[in-house]
Structure 1
Amino acid sequence: MVTDNLAHSLPASPLDDTNITEMNDELNWCSVSLSEIIARGSRLEATVYDVEGKKARSIVENCNCKHRMLAGTEGIADAYTCARFKRNWVEKSEFPIYQPSSILELYPKPDGYIARNTDTNIESLRVHKGQVLVTCSGTIGKAAYVSDTLDGKIFSHDLLRISAKNDVDAGYLYAFIKSDIGNKMLTTNQYGAVVSHIEASHLASIPIPYPSIDIRAEISNLIQESFRLRDEANRYLEVATQKLYQELHFGDFWDFKQSVLGNSVNTYSVKLSDLDGRVDASFHNKLATAIIEHIINTGASVQELGSKELSERVFLPQRFKRVYVSKGHGTKMFGIKQITTLDPFTEKYLALGCFTDSLQKELLLEPGMILISRSGTIGNMCIVPPHWKHWIASEDLIRVLPKRNMEGYIYCFLASDYGQALIKRYAFGSVQDHIDCDQVSHFLIPRLADKQMEREINQKVIDCNKLRAQAYACEVKAVETFERKVLLRKTL
């Protein structure tokens, strides 16, 4: 029996509701004709007819400008893929080959080397400046524009090469594919069903809006400027690395490695006093020891990354419960695979208001912070650029807060081949490699006798990061211009 019908006030929520945006997403629906149902094998599941894919085609076909096909005889571009081939791997050759996923990386590194006698036309695998590249197998629809950084590099067959018939359309094509509408059309067929592989012939059935040449040129110029800035940023990083190598008297890493290890089986003894609690051979490898000895012999000193002279803090955020929201309603979150890209692709957005202030402080990124992957492929890293400010990286990335005006110098060494060799010596784990914060704190960083040169190297890397932020702004503006002027849609 209820004896008390008085209303009681509930305790205040610990969450700040001002940080939570109300979501008013519309119900996703579309109509499907009988002919489409028959063409799809009489399937009635909604997942077979992707709503967003059908909606994207409808938007393009009903926009206020004419449209053409993306490729083919009547298309605005030619597209092709290379023949499949068996790779003949070698340890080193003049033919470095890159994975398709490398097209998204700011400074791509080869996956390995193939021999001259590989049974394929190696020259046909090279990509050329002005092409648009699209991944066509596995994770499909990721795109890049070929500028100086990728020009002439060898890629596998799992990559669509798209060449615009009119030069002014190259950047415009890239912006279309990068837009939500263009990418959705690329990854779904004409019925809206998601596809798992793209062939060059599929592009002949994809309509692309074709506005006036002034609009196409405006968008294309923004994309070309974005990639010009990326190339310039990479040159800044290369100059910084060369200066560091010169000061430390380092030459080509491959030659140094060969001089230390040679081609014979490596056996060596380790003093008990040098074990440092590790009995695995990988930690006491000759290469890492030789690098440290070489640095000291040049007159430089070494300091641990966790020392007060180099960093404020090395930490890993605490694990947290994730409250996902849709795009436009939360803060972007990305993981290990995205840290080497300009714009980390993600479909994950978190409700920031669900975290305490202390957790927000650990999660939110700040420019100049260094992120280091701690599991799987260890040592992948980036220095957080200005446009990532207050985005969130996963807790699988160790954070380093360097001392002011040291972040660029520290990153330059750790990202180099010699720095990576020192990092990988700390790996532990039987199935998957791992490192932890304590080990990252013990990473050795060379300190130059010439402090002015340290400052110059540091500034070059900082300037590199600023250029990348400008490149990001140009690409965002290009895609927004496409959405606003071509599709007449508001952008988030």
Structure 2
Amino acid sequence: MKLVNTDNPVRAGWLLEQSARLDAAPYLSGAYEARKLLERLPRTEPLKDVTRRGNGIFHAGRVSRRWVNNPEHGVPFFSSTDILEADFSFLPYIARSVVKENPRLTIEQGWTLITRSGTIGRISYVRPDVDGYACSEHVLRVAPRSDKILSGYLNAFLQSRYGIPIIVSQASGSIVQHIEPSHIADLPVPRFEVEIEERIHDLIQSAASLRAGFQAGVRAATADLFKSAGLTDLADLRWHEKPRALGFPAEGVNSNSIRASNYDARIKEVMSILQSIPHRTLGDICKAGKLGSGSRFKRIEADAESGAALLVGQKDGFWMRPEGRWINPARAPREIFAQDESVMIASQGLPGESALICRAAFVTGSWTKYAYTQHFLRVVSGQPAFPGAYLFAFLRSEVAFRCLRSMLVGTGPQDIHPVLRAELPVPLCTPADRERIANTVRSAYRDRDEADRLEDEALRLLDEAVRDAAR
């Protein structure tokens, strides 16, 4: 149950402003409290006055989406959910001709992106490595005026406890809610001394740079692994350029599976290349560790402040910040938590091309405090010579993804065949190579944790500044 903040209770004046509306939603969302607090500040400016003249708050408008498989002919494209992801390596490509027809699809470094349709108010900052990418029309762009406000400071306010509730409260629609640029144009942006705004901006900018470094790090680790293993032919796997296997003979069919896709000729070619170099099977590496799903359990809701654990599912397990539900860990099996350097593979669902099933995530640092659903396949190395960070560098690759996709079984929610997944060949590399690759992954995830810390510090400074000014 959500309760009103006792430090700032609902006032009679609020009821009058809402025409004596007596349902709780407008008052408990946090929007009214935030707006009333901002009204007490000595200086605020409407959002429209600190964004680019004429089109500082906009969306791209509807487009005809034409997808391409060759990156040379396309531009990476964000959906409204993709903007939340930590690793942008797996974005689809929209044709360059579409972007040329509608240049408003592209985004620029320093802009703030806000989801505007369906789930309203999810916010992301355009970091330097995605400058020029394309983005869905279901996402609002907020382009700051450089002569009026610092981009990082504006982003910190929009994603703060003051910005998000007001943005969400402007949604309209009964079935599919949405917001338009005009709905948030008058959102009051607090202004402070230059030193405060610069400090907050620098923290957000540093966090964005660290996240770009994280992205470069995990990509470099995977590229290093394939180069070190002599797999240059597989380093850039153009899966969709391979001819589809519409008819092929299958050898070695046994009682484990008689499903045709498990014997796909395309993946047999990839597997034969992996098996031709020094390798160990995934099952062998994890024999003394774990290679299996988590236990099913009943979710017992709990308050975040009472020792609860945030339960991460297959969707938000790949986001920069998870948005799972809070549960009581004492009423759940111990294995809902993951040990350091566990690889978590989304293993249950339907294998659409944009689906997450068979994608790999890595648990280390601050993410070890979260709980994880049973829908993740836990991959825990049982051999120190094959650290989890090294396994992740391989399992996040397009090669491993396609191999695991070929091992799916089931009709509705599909799963990865337990026998076939254990037979996945993992390149051996030399001990020095494995350690170097693992350290690259670890360094990347330290950057990611530091980015989260800096962003939290920026939001803390903003909150302090607002409350001090409102006194």
**What TM-score do the two structures reach when normalised by structure 1?**
0.82
> Is 2:396 the counterpart of 1:409?
no
> Is 2:61 the counterpart of 1:83?
yes
Aligned equivalent of 2:259: 280
Question: How many Å separate the matches in 2 of 1:476 and 1:145?
Answer: 14
Cα distance, 1:312–1:106 mapped onto 2, change above 3 Å: same
| Matching residue within 314, 323, 346 for 1:336 | 314
Aligned equivalent of 2:348: 375
Cα distance, 1:370–1:186 mapped onto 2, change above 3 Å: same
> Is 2:151 the counterpart of 1:170?
yes
Partner SS, residue 389 of structure 1:
helix
Cα distance, 1:258–1:101 mapped onto 2, change above 3 Å: closer
Any conservation in 2 of the 1:226–1:475 contact (CA below 8 Å)? yes
Partner SS, residue 467 of structure 1:
helix
Any conservation in 1 of the 2:170–2:179 contact (CA below 8 Å)? no
1:126 is displaced (CA, Å) by 1.2
Any conservation in 1 of the 2:283–2:422 contact (CA below 8 Å)? yes
Deviations 1:70-124 (A, max 9, x none): 2x2x345621111211212344433342212111111214553334554972433
Partner SS, residue 291 of structure 2:
strand
1:139 is displaced (CA, Å) by 1.6
| Matching residue within 157, 169, 177 for 1:196 | 177
Cα distance, 1:188–1:165 mapped onto 2, change above 3 Å: same
> Is 2:231 the counterpart of 1:249?
yes
Aligned equivalent of 1:60: 38
Question: How many Å separate the matches in 2 of 1:119 and 1:148?
Answer: 19
Partner SS, residue 95 of structure 1:
strand
Larger mean CA deviation between 378-387 and 173-182 belongs to 173-182
Aligned equivalent of 1:36: 18
Any conservation in 2 of the 1:295–1:446 contact (CA below 8 Å)? yes
Coordinate RMSD, CA, aligned: 3.0
Any conservation in 1 of the 2:59–2:104 contact (CA below 8 Å)? no
Partner SS, residue 306 of structure 1:
helix
1:438 is displaced (CA, Å) by 5.4
Cα distance, 1:51–1:241 mapped onto 2, change above 3 Å: closer
Aligned equivalent of 1:152: 132
Any conservation in 2 of the 1:98–1:109 contact (CA below 8 Å)? no
| Matching residue within 382, 392, 400 for 2:379 | 400
Question: How many Å separate the matches in 1 of 2:358 and 2:65?
Answer: 27
Aligned equivalent of 2:323: 345
1:58 is displaced (CA, Å) by 1.4
1:229 is displaced (CA, Å) by 0.9
1:262 is displaced (CA, Å) by 2.7
Cα distance, 1:139–1:437 mapped onto 2, change above 3 Å: farther
Question: How many Å separate the matches in 1 of 2:436 and 2:182?
Answer: 51
Any conservation in 2 of the 1:386–1:469 contact (CA below 8 Å)? yes
1:472 is displaced (CA, Å) by 1.1
Question: How many Å separate the matches in 2 of 1:308 and 1:412?
Answer: 15
Larger mean CA deviation between 77-86 and 398-407 belongs to 398-407
1:436 is displaced (CA, Å) by 5.8
Aligned AA for 1:223?
I
Q: Which 5+ residue runs of structure 2 have no aligned equivalent?
A: 350-355
Deviations 1:256-300 (A, max 9, x none): 5467x336x5321112x3446211111111222111211233x32
Partner SS, residue 320 of structure 1:
coil
Aligned equivalent of 2:353: none
Partner SS, residue 370 of structure 1:
strand
Any conservation in 1 of the 2:88–2:215 contact (CA below 8 Å)? no
Aligned AA for 2:431?
K
Cα distance, 1:149–1:120 mapped onto 2, change above 3 Å: closer
Partner SS, residue 284 of structure 2:
coil
Aligned equivalent of 2:352: none
Any conservation in 1 of the 2:58–2:142 contact (CA below 8 Å)? yes
Equivalent residue runs for 1:53-452 within 5 Å: 53-63=31-41, 65-70=42-47, 72=48, 74-76=49-51, 78-92=56-70, 93-109=73-89, 111-118=91-98, 121-166=101-146, 169-189=150-170, 196-246=177-227, 247-251=229-233, 257=239, 261-262=242-243, 266-271=246-251, 273-275=252-254, 277-297=256-276, 299-301=277-279, 303-308=280-285, 312-329=289-306, 330-346=308-324, 348-355=325-332, 359-360=333-334, 362-376=335-349, 377-402=356-381, 403-404=383-384, 406-435=387-416, 440-448=421-429, 450-452=430-432
Question: How many Å separate the matches in 2 of 1:25 and 1:442?
Answer: 55
Equivalent residue runs for 1:13-32 within 5 Å: 29-31=10-12, 32=14
Aligned equivalent of 1:5: none
> Is 2:438 the counterpart of 1:458?
yes
Cα distance, 1:282–1:400 mapped onto 2, change above 3 Å: same
1:344 is displaced (CA, Å) by 1.0
Partner SS, residue 398 of structure 1:
strand
Cα distance, 1:439–1:58 mapped onto 2, change above 3 Å: farther
Cα distance, 1:442–1:328 mapped onto 2, change above 3 Å: farther
Any conservation in 2 of the 1:310–1:406 contact (CA below 8 Å)? no
Q: Which 5+ residue runs of structure 1 have no aligned equivalent?
A: 1-22
Question: How many Å separate the matches in 1 of 2:202 and 2:208?
Answer: 10
Any conservation in 2 of the 1:283–1:425 contact (CA below 8 Å)? yes
Deviations 1:430-471 (A, max 9, x none): 2333226555444332212x3321221111111111111111
1:407 is displaced (CA, Å) by 0.9
Question: How many Å separate the matches in 2 of 1:414 and 1:190?
Answer: 40
Larger mean CA deviation between 405-414 and 109-118 belongs to 109-118
Partner SS, residue 199 of structure 2:
helix
Q: Give the paired residue count.
A: 448
1:340 is displaced (CA, Å) by 1.4
Which structure has the larger Rg over C-alpha atoms? 1
